[in-house]
Amino acid sequence: MDTLGPSPFLWLEFDKDGAIDPALTEKLAAVLNQPGMTDLVVMSHGWKNTKDNARTLYGTLWANACKKLAPDKGRRTVVAGIVWPAKAYRTDFDTETLVASGGGAQAADGAPAPVEDLDDAAFKEVLADFEGLFGPDGAGTAEKARAAAETLDETRSLFLVRQGKAAIGSPQSDTELKADAEPIALATEDANSAKVLMEGLVSPPTFSLESSVGKAQGLGDVVSGLISGPRAAVARFLNQLTYYEMKKRAGVVGEALTKNVLSKLVLQQPIRLHLVGHSFGARLVSAAANKLAPVPKLEFFSLTLLQGAFSHNGFAKEIKPGLAGAFPDVVGKPTGPICVTHTHNDLACTLAYALASRLSRDIAKSIGDANDEFGAMGANGPQHLQAGQAVEDDADAVFAPKAGKVNTFLADKYIIKTAASDAHNNVANEEVGRLLAKIVG
């Protein structure tokens, strides 16, 4: 049996469709049924993670948690690490440009730098990342993308948009995915609509200094990227499809975690379940929690979302009349706390997610903020919850999560950019480990 610090550890490896070896569920149950076991912690990584990356994330986070746990607690807790196919890819080249330029690069004479299209090498990298994620299912889209990047006329735009729609498929009950897919579906109706959509992606995004995100990042009066042209438009479209696929895949695997693993555990003693997810992995464990029904002797105790890369409206029973979030049945399920970290230090959630989730390029002053329709959980925490459901942690990180509540933790002071990591991935540090220990302990 493998271990993670003092705890028994095993992998739960899923494919993109949520399939898992049934023997792993039996193996997990056998470990949980060993004398004295009391808790199961299931952790999920986000994007850009290999199995080795995931092992480092889980190992570091759990080691930091165990520093604050009683030694016997670690030995009585089983840790299961999820592995799912979340390919490495660039989060968003517009965000990279904005941050690198400090909100608008200048030429040597102080004038604004000239706007240019993606060069061939960068465009090929985008295509390679896309094909690496989608595999054979993305070959047709990549072919149409190459053609559209040469001439963004009506015919090639329509071919690309229709191929993109085919690549991502049709959402079922997931309201977040429906909102993402709708502009693509509408643009497939005729060639002019497709061209209008693609032309809207040619120019770089802009937003004003009135945005609190712009102020926090020091991005200037009017922020604009330096990339504009047909290759940039095609790359932005492919990036949105990539985000869509990652969100969809996280939901599929999360539901499979519940259906194929958690609901099939045959336990001989009471076990408390803790779900922990980072980035798109937070969406994965939220999908699992949303579908989880009572399992004999398994107490769903806590849900922890570390810089979640999914809609901040995800837990809402009602965002507006007739529209609920993607996971409206999560709040109230755990007997213990739901805990959510969020900070605008996290550019992946605050800017990249907000940019990649909008094809209309309707960049308003609220981009990335709590009232941005496309804002992320890891940027703003949960929105549109019912009165009394959420509790805010104080700024001093006391970490006193309350059972039965959605506990939101503004992480400006401890989820930060370091020499070794950007803020989005800095979620295994000692402060976050201390938070996890308070939740599990």
Rounded Cα distance, 306 and 329, in Å:
19
Mean pLDDT across 169-198: 88
201 and 279 fall within a common domain? no
Least reliable range by pLDDT among 101-110, 151-160, 337-346: 101-110
pLDDT band at residue 107 under the 50/70/90 scheme:
very low
Contact in structure between 151 and 132 (CB atoms under 8 Å):
no
Rounded Cα distance, 270 and 201, in Å:
53
297 and 336 fall within a common domain? yes
207 and 328 fall within a common domain? no
pLDDT digits (tens, 9 = 90+) for 373-384: 888 999 999 999
Max Cα-Cα span within the chain: 74
Domain count, the chain: 2
**Full DSSP string of 80-134:** EEEE-------S-HHHHHHHHHTSS-B-TTSSBPPPBPPPHHHHHHHHHHHHHHH
Contact in structure between 133 and 250 (CB atoms under 8 Å):
no
Q: Would the pLDDT of 108 be above 50? A: no
Contact in structure between 192 and 112 (CB atoms under 8 Å):
no
Mean pLDDT across 9-36: 97
Walk across the sheet containing 406-410 and list its strands. 2-4, 7-13, 77-83, 39-44, 271-278, 298-306, 338-342, 406-410, 390-392
pLDDT digits (tens, 9 = 90+) for 293-330: 999 999 999 999 999 999 999 999 999 898 999 999 99
pLDDT digits (tens, 9 = 90+) for 236-272: 899 888 888 888 999 999 999 999 999 999 999 999 9
Q: Would the pLDDT of 99 be above 60? A: no
- The shares of helix, strand and coil residues in the chain, as percent rounded to the nearest 5, are 40, 15, 40
101 and 183 fall within a common domain? yes
Q: Would the pLDDT of 223 be above 50? A: no
Higher-confidence residue: 44 or 211? 44
State the Rg of the chain over Cα. Answer: 22
Q: Which of 223, 246, 269 is the last residue of a domain?
A: 246
Task: Give the C-alpha distances (Å, rounded to integers) separating 282 from 47, 253, 306.
Answer: 11, 12, 7
Higher-confidence residue: 241 or 227? 241
Closest CA to 428 of 79, 63, 50: 63
pLDDT band at residue 88 under the 50/70/90 scheme:
low
In a domain, 259, yes or no: yes
Tell me which DSSP letter residue 295 carries.
B
Q: Would the pLDDT of 92 be above 70? A: no
pLDDT digits (tens, 9 = 90+) for 112-131: 555 688 889 889 988 988 99
pLDDT band at residue 174 under the 50/70/90 scheme:
confident
* pLDDT of amino acid 179: 83
Q: Would the pLDDT of 430 be above 70? A: yes
Mean pLDDT across 416-440: 95
Q: Mean pLDDT highest for which of 108-112, 133-137, 306-310?
A: 306-310
Phi-psi region of 102 (alpha: psi -120 to 50; beta: other; left: phi over 0): left
343 and 270 fall within a common domain? yes
Q: Would the pLDDT of 344 be above 70? A: yes
Rounded Cα distance, 145 and 149, in Å:
6
* pLDDT of amino acid 370: 85
Closest CA to 309 of 373, 220, 243: 243
Domain of 210 in residue numbering reads as 93-246
pLDDT band at residue 220 under the 50/70/90 scheme:
very low
Rounded Cα distance, 162 and 299, in Å:
45
237 and 176 fall within a common domain? yes
Contact in structure between 14 and 44 (CB atoms under 8 Å):
no
Q: Would the pLDDT of 91 be above 70? A: no
In a domain, 360, yes or no: no
Least reliable range by pLDDT among 64-73, 145-154, 277-286, 369-378: 369-378
Q: Which of 193, 214, 246 is the last residue of a domain?
A: 246
Closest CA to 209 of 372, 73, 363: 363
Q: Which of 211, 246, 281 is the last residue of a domain?
A: 246
Mean pLDDT across 7-11: 98
pLDDT band at residue 182 under the 50/70/90 scheme:
confident
Contact in structure between 253 and 282 (CB atoms under 8 Å):
no
Mean pLDDT across 214-234: 66
pLDDT band at residue 204 under the 50/70/90 scheme:
confident
* pLDDT of amino acid 373: 81
Mean pLDDT across 365-388: 85
pLDDT band at residue 93 under the 50/70/90 scheme:
low
217 and 172 fall within a common domain? yes
Residue 373, domain CATH = 3.40.50
Task: Give the C-alpha distances (Å, rounded to integers) separating 384 from 142, 192, 318, 332, 373.
Answer: 38, 36, 7, 15, 11
105 and 190 fall within a common domain? yes
CA angle 292, 298, 301 (to 5 degrees): 75
Q: What are phi and psi of 200, to 5 degrees?
A: -70, -15
Tokens of 52: 């080795």
Q: What is the mean pLDDT of the chain?
A: 88
* pLDDT of amino acid 115: 64
- The model carries a pTM of 0.91
118 and 217 fall within a common domain? yes
42 and 123 fall within a common domain? no
